[in-house]
Amino acid sequence: MSTAEHTRGPKLRKADGSTIRVLVVDDEPGLTDLLSMALRYEGWEVRTASDGQQALRTAREFRPDAIVLDIMLPDIDGLQVLQRVRADGHETPVLFLTAKDSLDDRIAGLTAGGDDYVTKPFSLEEVVARLRGLIRRSTLSVADSSDPRITIGDLTLDEDSYEVFRGDDQIELTATEFELLRFLMRNPRRVLSKAQILDRVWSYDFGGRSSVVEIYISYLRKKIDAGRDPMIHTVRGAGYMLKTPK
């Protein structure tokens, strides 16, 4: 795909231009998979660990620029992991991820040297946004483009103004429709399953049925594709794909 066909919004990179590295530590494989997917969509390199000892080994080898760290791990807990990371001399920003939501737990995590705290269930978009904030504040990063627009063919989405255009026509979308379209446009020519779309657009804790995806895809098609060459396609038995018309 040419750069003219697909232009992404600002991508966060380290000040030296290299890719940001994130370590995700959690003993729930499904959760680490979801987080890894979301972070890789940001253009970041991701490693995962399922327990504290593995997290420490990976942190020493991988030298991440940020860590997403569950407090409840099967061997040593996340607070001990963080203490050992800090003892190694690493000031890596840490986002605690845990089911514990009492004030005492939050204070313990932040007192141990954590930089932020998100409780389960959570929104993947929130985790990504908080990580971007931590990485920016760590002075490690720059945005490699000032252009907030994603463009595929004659379809343009502006992540700053929340405006969408198909050719010269402005298209009014609801907040959910906008997030769905952004997800599709960030992954052109890639088949996205209903489960992936639910997890990304309606968040990790969404308990609804996949029929909501069909409904919102239908809404988008009426606004994006009506009277034009279609860009949103159904891949039978697999999911949905957005691509430029032939």
Q: What are the residue boundaries of the structural domains of the chain, listed by start? A: 21-139, 149-242
For the record, the structure tokens of 214 come out as: 């069909």
Q: pLDDT class for 105, splitting at 50, 70, 90? A: low
Domain covering 21-139, topology: Rossmann fold (3.40.50)
Whether 21-139 shares its CATH topology with 149-242 is answered no
Give bridge partners of residue 48 from the DSSP assignment. 24
Instruction: State how far the Cα of 190 lies from the Cα of 203, in Å rounded to an integer.
Output: 20
Q: pLDDT class for 55, splitting at 50, 70, 90? A: very high
**CA-closest candidate to residue 185, choices 212, 221, 149:** 149
**Range 149-242: architecture per CATH:** Orthogonal Bundle (1.10)
Tell me: the pLDDT tens digits for 6-29? 333 457 777 667 889 999 999 999
Report whether pLDDT(5) > 60: no
Lowest mean pLDDT among 15-19, 92-96, 115-119, 128-132: 15-19
Tell me: the pLDDT tens digits for 194-211? 888 877 776 544 445 667
Q: What are phi and psi of 222, to 5 degrees?
A: -65, -30
Q: How many CB atoms lie within 10 A of CB 77?
A: 17
